């Protein structure tokens, strides 16, 4: 089983590039043999990725694990955002709830746990700190440019030792 975590940068958004994201996820499944995904459940890109993966689950044998920073993660969100969150959570294979911690560290800790559990890291938007961490821990990194709807670089992996 090969696994991949999906982590969005702070301001990542790619609704305009949904077809590109869909194609890249097909390649991760078909070409890289990834069959287990860990997806953060922040509003926006991470939830969009989870929804695309849930559609792919209808025709592919993949596991989708939703990773939560805390139990009340969606408590203060608008009703539409909460409905979307719970719709995804009902359909995923597993929920991974991290131990409680201070608000400022929860997301960083979640990202570290997800990257530690996975063979590949897929960053949705730029995050240099996470990219460097993954490379130091010998995790191949794919970075999706949310402005252009492409991978940086074009489906080549940042591999340990290559700068």
What are the boundaries of each domain within the chain?
2-152
DSSP bridge pairs for 96 = 67
What is the third-level CATH fold of 2-152? Rossmann fold (3.40.50)
Give the residue among 92, 24, 26 at the shortest CA–CA distance from 60: 26
Q: What is residue 155's predicted lDDT score, i.e. its pLDDT? A: 43
Above 80 in pLDDT, residue 21? yes
Residue 34 backbone dihedrals phi, psi, to 5 degrees: -80, 130
Above 60 in pLDDT, residue 11? no
Above 50 in pLDDT, residue 109? yes
3-state SS, residue 141: strand
Please list, in sequence order, all residues whose beta carbon lies within 8 angstroms of the beta carbon of residue 24, skipping any fewer than 6 positions away. Answer: 142, 144, 151, 155
Q: What is residue 107's predicted lDDT score, i.e. its pLDDT? A: 80
DSSP bridge pairs for 5 = 38, 121
Span 143-161, mean pLDDT?
Answer: 64
Above 80 in pLDDT, residue 85? yes
Cβ proximity of 62 and 29 under 8 Å: yes
């Amino acid at each position: 089983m090969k696994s991949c975590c999906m982590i969005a940068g702070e301001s990542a958004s790619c609704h305009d590039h949904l077809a590109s994201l869909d194609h890249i996820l097909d390649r991760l499944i078909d070409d890289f043999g990834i069959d287990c995904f860990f997806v953060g459940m922040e509003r926006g890109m991470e939830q969009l990725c989870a929804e695309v993966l849930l559609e792919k689950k209808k025709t592919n044998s993949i596991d989708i694990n939703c990773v939560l920073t805390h139990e009340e993660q969606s408590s203060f969100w608008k009703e539409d955002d909460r409905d979307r969150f719970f719709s995804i959570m009902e359909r995923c294979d597993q929920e991974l709830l991290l131990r409680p911690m201070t608000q400022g560290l929860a997301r960083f800790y979640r990202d570290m746990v997800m990257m530690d559990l996975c063979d590949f890291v897929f960053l949705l938007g730029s995050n240099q700190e996470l990219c460097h961490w993954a490379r130091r821990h010998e995790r191949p990194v794919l970075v999706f440019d949310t402005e252009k709807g492409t991978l940086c670089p074009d489906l080549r992996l940042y591999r340990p030792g290559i700068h």
